[in-house]
């Protein structure tokens, strides 16, 4: 539930903030302690407005705002908002924003102002919640030293080593054959990409993390939204995209093979994001690799799809046919047989310790 922030909440807010803005993406070494003191400065201002989202007496998200007079109008400025990474994508941020919107309406304020990085995934989130770029406003900055780095200007996916660590940690949360299935998909993606003029390192990482949503438990369609939200929270937009597209080679959620166990909000997120995507060869590559990757190694595509059909009771024919076409598409690109390229007869997945 949403409630007004109290002084006693600051320690939990500091912990959330430090986790939501990690050093590797934002260039600042936030700890629970220094983040708490940073947020306390906002809390102690005279016209502070703040809310927390709480479940079972645990704070999972927070928003810090301040009422200001700007010329002839009074506005509210959002200074900071943070949600625990593992709970992002579940509507908490939206509820926090709505609390500030309701306050603004109740007080008759002119509007709400906030600043965010143009490279961060938060920009898209705010746009979805009704915020627009401010016309006629320029944010300027005088810099003494280049201290901060912005990984969003660089790669939207982790390194090979980081990806392997992410997968290992996820398996510790939810052990199962999905981990080695992911390793097989990564092996196949890397081999195919190397012969198709694509970035083999990127392909490996995307294949390795396409099912990372399974970290959060035994969900079916839910693992798609969980993976998307988790990777977006880390700034890995390219991986988040694959978490969505690997299950939908026709971009049609109704063709999902498995149980529909998502909330209304999660379902809307999947539909909206899929509609905004134009599938590229990396999407198609992971879809293909998903259709031949078993937990014990590379499988014959027909056998793999037949196995999935047996386990879930159905397999959409159009999805089936598209997977067959994907195999031909990449074999044409490579000029080689798929199973030879991925070493079907010999490859066996192993954990990287």
DSSP classification of residue 62: E
Is residue 349's pLDDT more than 80?
A: yes
Q: What is the pLDDT of residues 108-138, one digit of tens each?
A: 999 999 888 766 667 788 888 888 888 777 7
251 CA to centre of own chain: 18
pLDDT at 235: 84
Is residue 245 one of the residues assigned to a domain? Answer: yes
Average pLDDT score over the chain: 89
- Residue 19: CATH number of its domain: 3.40.630.30
**Total domains present in the chain:** 2
Is residue 349 one of the residues assigned to a domain? Answer: no
What is the percentage of the chain residues whose pLDDT exceeds 90?
67
* Neighbour-count burial for 22-61, b at 16+ CB within 10 Å, e otherwise: beebbeeebeeeebbebbeebbeeeeebbbbbbeeeebbb
- Residue 274: CATH number of its domain: 1.10.3210
pLDDT at 192: 97
Least confident span in 56-65, 187-196, 310-319? 310-319
Same domain, 75 and 211: no
Is residue 159's pLDDT more than 80?
A: yes
Judge contact between 74 and 37, C-beta under 8 A. no
pLDDT at 255: 80
| Six-digit token string for 155 | 């790669």
Q: 76: burial class by Cβ within 10 Å (0-12, 13-18, 19+)?
A: buried
Is residue 350 one of the residues assigned to a domain? Answer: no
Question: pTM of whole model > 0.75?
Answer: no
Mean pLDDT computed over 77-81: 95
From residue 244, alpha-carbon distances to 104, 276, 296, 300 in Å are 35, 11, 24, 24
Same domain, 222 and 297: yes
Domain of residue 17, residue span: 2-130
pLDDT at 270: 92
* Spatial separation of the C-alpha atoms in residues 42 and 61, rounded to whole Å: 16
* Spatial separation of the C-alpha atoms in residues 70 and 75, rounded to whole Å: 7
Is residue 266's pLDDT more than 50?
A: yes
Is residue 151's pLDDT more than 60?
A: no
Same domain, 94 and 239: no
Same domain, 168 and 103: no
pLDDT at 149: 44
Is residue 146 one of the residues assigned to a domain? Answer: no
Q: What is the pLDDT of residues 172-209, one digit of tens each?
A: 999 999 999 999 999 999 999 999 999 999 999 999 99
Is residue 139 one of the residues assigned to a domain? Answer: no
Same domain, 198 and 308: yes
Is residue 154 one of the residues assigned to a domain? Answer: no
Is residue 147 one of the residues assigned to a domain? Answer: no
| pLDDT band per the 50, 70, 90 thresholds, residue 282 | very high
What is the percentage of the chain residues whose pLDDT exceeds 70?
93
């Amino acid at each position: 539930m949403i409630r007004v922030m109290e002084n006693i909440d600051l320690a939990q807010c500091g912990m959330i903030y430090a986790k939501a803005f990690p050093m590797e993406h934002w260039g600042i070494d936030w700890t629970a302690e220094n983040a708490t003191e940073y947020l306390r400065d906002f809390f102690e201002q005279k016209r502070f407005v703040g809310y927390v989202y709480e479940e079972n007496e645990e704070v999972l998200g927070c928003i810090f705002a301040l009422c200001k007079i700007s010329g002839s109008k009074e506005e509210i400025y959002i200074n900071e908002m943070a949600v625990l990474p593992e709970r992002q994508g579940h509507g908490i941020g939206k509820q926090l924003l709505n609390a500030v919107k309701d306050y603004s309406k109740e007080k008759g304020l002119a509007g709400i102002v906030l600043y965010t990085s143009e490279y961060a995934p938060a920009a898209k989130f705010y746009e979805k919640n009704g915020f627009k770029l401010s016309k006629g406003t320029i944010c300027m900055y005088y810099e003494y030293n280049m201290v901060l780095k912005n990984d969003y200007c660089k790669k939207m996916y982790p390194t090979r080593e980081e990806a392997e660590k992410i997968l290992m940690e996820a398996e510790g949360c939810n052990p199962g054959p999905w981990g080695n299935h992911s390793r097989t998909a990564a092996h196949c993606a890397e081999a195919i990409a190397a012969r198709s003029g694509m970035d083999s390192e990127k392909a490996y990482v995307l294949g390795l993390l396409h099912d990372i949503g399974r970290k959060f438990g035994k969900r079916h369609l839910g693992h798609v939204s969980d993976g998307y939200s988790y990777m977006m929270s880390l700034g890995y937009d390219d991986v988040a995209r694959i978490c969505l597209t690997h299950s939908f080679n026709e971009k049609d959620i109704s063709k999902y093979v498995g149980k529909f166990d998502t909330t209304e909000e999660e379902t809307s997120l999947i539909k909206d994001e899929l509609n905004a995507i134009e599938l590229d060869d990396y999407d198609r590559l992971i879809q293909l690799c998903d259709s031949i990757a078993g937990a014990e190694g590379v499988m014959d595509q027909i056998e793999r799809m037949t196995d999935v059909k047996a386990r879930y009771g159905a397999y959409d024919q159009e999805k089936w046919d598209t997977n067959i076409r994907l195999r031909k598409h990449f074999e044409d690109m490579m000029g080689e047989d798929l199973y030879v390229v991925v070493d079907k007869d010999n490859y066996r997945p192993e954990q990287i310790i």
